[in-house]
A and B are shown apart, each in its own frame.
Chain A
Amino acid sequence: MSKRIVVDPITRIEGHLRAEVVVDDDGVVTDAYISSTLWRGLEVIAKGRDPRNVPLLMQRICGVCTYSHYLKSTMAVEDALGIKIPLNAELVRTLMNAALFLHDHVVHFYHLHGVDWVDITSALKADPKKASELAFKYSKNPIATGENDLIKVQETVAKFASNPQGLGPFANAYWGHSTYKFTPEQNLIALSHYLKALEMQRLAAQLMAIFGGKNPHPQSLVVGGVSCVMDILDPARMGEYLTKYKKMADFVHNAYLADIKMAAEAYKDEPSVTKPMGVRNFMAFKDFKVGRDEYLFDSGYILKGDLTEVLEINEDLITEEATHSWYQDDEPQHPYDGTTIPNHTGFVDGESIGPDGEMIHSKLIDPDGKYTWIKSPRYDGQPMEVGPLACLLVGYAKGNTIIKDAVDGFLKETGLPLEILFSTLGRTAARSLQAGIVADNAIKAFHNLIENLKVDQDTCAPYVIDNDKEYKGRGIGDVPRGMLIHWIRIKNGVCENYQATVPSTWNAGPKDANGVRGPYEADLLNLQIADVTKPLEIIRIIHSYDPCIACAVHVMDTKGNKLAEYKVDPLYGGVCNT
């Protein structure tokens, strides 16, 4: 008999997310539903505001991707007003973006995703000497894995473990779960890196703050360029960036990438992470400008995992619909006249497997009704996965040499087939490879900036907003969590309409009207769960997408309309005629 498992709250993500699966008697997932349980309505709030205020407002969509929305929103306003920003400004933005990628991916792997892979309690049994030697297997210059370092880490954890109150944030997790595959020594290495990464993420944040003023929520992008001209012209400041960048890059190579290789080795035979993914369509957009015409990542999309063909993106084919989302549906025949109004139908009463294995009363998702604040974006009717994996696959298929070298190098070192990329393990590995690419190549932007400053010190382009004119534009690119688009319309000198198409929306969206699932839901199908009271496998899969749910939830759309044409209703984000 099939039973329901509810996982809510899914912790170690940004935002509020619930996963629900139906399992059969063997613990195999037969159906899955993903629900976001918070709605804030920021696009509605953007309406009627000065376009220069909007990027700061949109930045507050998310404090984890704290720079992504700020950047794309600023680019959207610039695109609308037809501003070409100075090269210096573009390169400084790239340097800040590099800081974000390095910060975000490291924090995600260690502090958010990490304990899905690493059993902290097992690290206690490790032999620190052996672990210290083992670390050289994955890196020539391992970080924080000296024997003494590891002994200290063990002592700290031992004290926690011996005191149930002391476990604090580590209490009551799925320790000892059968799908933890690291040896005690490997766990110890990763745990030491977990603690070291707490220090490193501060450094990466400083890296962004050098040009951004602060982190989270940096504050130096202005429409037309950047405001931090004094810091750019200060050689000591530039030196600070370079030094901290190198330290961060070193950590990415000798801790992060090393641990991923270790994980690839340990987990390559674990079915719950190597299970082929459900949606094999991938989409990414060109980003990471490091020189006048040089980008690290490419645009395009791939269907059905076919790496021989990369198709060009036509933004007009991006649609969203709300069949299973908590918004009122519109009549398809009157697409522009309806309004999209929140329509929270809540959950239904039922039973699910409780923490002790018995069935307990719960609020459940009604799979036939509406069950999430996230909508279902589709490209030409197809669900798409976005994110670092999509970025790498598109680049790989396009023959981007930087990406090809990184991917092939990883596969060669680990001895894994290309097919492994189409799995949870592949997704997690792709993120680290992307961090490695940024760590190796973003510094080109730094050197190009220095070269350009010799002849040109412009950091901001002048512009005027004509109140009598109407403008529309969009900012697009690949941010740490995938392809992000912001769309703006400006009329009477104020924001008339605002939309965002966000990576986690693509990945976490519910079924569409045709019953086609999005990547999260499709990926959970056929998953074998070892212990239904401790669904670590579910968490691991969902975390591998790096969910950012505050980002994913937003107002827009009617059934299957062009996103760029949507208008937000003054109260709730409906669609007006354009």
Chain B
Amino acid sequence: MNTTNKEEVSAQQIEQEMEFTPAYRWQHWIRAIAILILIITGFYISVPFFTPEPNSEPTNFLQAIIRNLHLVFGFVMIAVVIWKLYLTLFAEKYKSERVSVLDMLNPVVWVKQIGYYLFMTKHPHLKGVYNPLQLMAYIGLYIVFFILIITGLILYVNVYHEGLGGLLYAPMRELEVMLGGLAWVRELHHISMWIVIIIVTIHIYMAIFNAVFGKQGSMDAIFSGLKWHKKH
């Protein structure tokens, strides 16, 4: 991955730094897999694009299986989102994420950051780990996650009436009315998925862009957790 890095640095000049903890990396990749599976199964649930060979004994419960997969990963997603929110908001090691808010409040950083992406200015110095645009995108993503989870749960309680479904039934039905009925809930769920797809696409591109051009950018941090930079 680092082969494209044009900077020639010797081993003595760089040092290792743990950028992403194992916890962070796990949640990132679990989330990535969950999103992928949820999108594929979600598309199927919306319009079943393949059907099993018709046979006289309907034993291959394809829709049920795919819906089940969607549910399982939906709950995985809920768990991971809660976990990550906890880490971001409360964990000591994640203080730098919280500090990013300061950068976001600084107009100078905004101008420089946008300028950087437009190839006009240098990358601003950041106090936290995320630049303002990045943070905005992540906050947006989490709002969309929240909408997806709520609408998902509303759809869930209307199918599964016992257990968790029973527990959440009354409040979710109230929310359903506020959102304009079950059909609209389903549409919101669908539209939100598209927002996730677009944000994820941009995210992947930006990761690659940073890996290629960024000062310390390297994509393997999300795999190994480590990033490298010059000794001071």
Quick check: do A and B touch in the complex, using CB within 8 A?
no
